[in-house]
């Protein structure tokens, strides 16, 4: 009986942690919605499909996020069989991110949705993620590193007091990195993250 209670407490704690991390990092977005994986009931566009590991097996409980050009964010969690559904999306361009809480696997890509109540199927295959590390001359903990994909902000990390930073769990793809503090900033336009790779940058605030 005691073991069952402990398992329930752990499950609740992990769920709370995922929700806290997601909402904390999405502070800059004007509108975000957290959905489960129930049958689509909300008007607007829907995205549904499967989330798979690179070996083709289902990736249950993986996180799926859709970032809109209008700064909206919709978040869902895959079922145990890997199926997921995101509901109530507007029309336009979205950056879709897939990730797992435990394990260095991820996905990122773009998706254009037409106006109306449409359902789009998007099956996601996760790949080993990479890491971006570096130092920024003239930076301390007041600086922020903002990672963008296709012009959309998807990740923000604080710079440490010694000017160093680490952004891990980055899905393979091409990114832009901007580091800023107040009116000072520096931008790296093209960063290509490969599966399982690591990139080290030496930057300075302009």
- In whole angstroms, give the CA distance from residue 68 to residue 82: 23
Q: Are the C-beta atoms of 184 and 164 separated by less than 8 Å? A: no
CATH architecture of 130-204: Sandwich (2.60)
Domain boundaries, the chain: 29-127, 130-204
The CA–CA distances, whole Å, from 190 to 5, 129, 132 equal: 49, 17, 12
The CA–CA distances, whole Å, from 175 to 18, 100, 110, 151, 194 equal: 24, 20, 13, 9, 11
Superfamily of domain 29-127: Aromatic compound dioxygenase (2.60.130.10)
- In whole angstroms, give the CA distance from residue 184 to residue 164: 17
Per-residue pLDDT of the chain (206 residues; tens, 9 = 90+): 545 444 444 433 444 444 444 434 433 443 444 443 333 345 689 999 999 999 999 999 999 999 998 888 999 999 999 999 999 899 999 999 999 977 689 999 999 999 888 899 999 999 999 999 999 998 988 999 999 999 999 999 999 999 999 999 999 999 999 999 888 889 998 999 999 999 999 999 87
Q: Reduce the DSSP state of residue 67 to 3 states and report it.
A: strand
């Amino acid at each position: 009986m005691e073991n069952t209670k402990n398992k329930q407490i752990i499950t609740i704690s992990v769920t709370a942690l995922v929700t806290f991390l997601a909402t904390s990092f999405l502070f800059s977005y004007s509108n975000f919605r957290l959905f489960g994986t129930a049958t689509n009931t909300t008007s607007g566009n829907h995205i549904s499909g499967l989330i798979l590991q690179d070996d083709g097996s289902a990736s249950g409980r993986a996180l799926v996020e859709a970032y809109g050009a209008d700064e909206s964010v919709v978040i869902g969690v895959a079922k145990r069989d890997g199926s997921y559904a995101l509901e109530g999306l507007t029309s336009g361009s979205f950056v879709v991110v897939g990730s797992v809480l435990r394990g260095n696997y991820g996905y990122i890509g773009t998706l254009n949705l037409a106006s109306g109540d449409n359902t789009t199927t998007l099956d996601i295959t996760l790949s080993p993620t990479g890491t971006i590390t570096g130092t920024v001359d003239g930076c301390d903990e007041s600086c922020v590193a903002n990672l963008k994909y296709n012009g959309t902000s998807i990740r923000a990390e604080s710079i440490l007091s010694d000017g160093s930073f680490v952004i891990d769990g980055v899905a393979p793809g091409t990114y832009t990195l901007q580091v800023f503090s107040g009116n000072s900033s520096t931008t790296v336009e093209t960063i290509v993250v490969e599966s399982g790779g690591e990139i080290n940058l030496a930057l300075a605030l302009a």
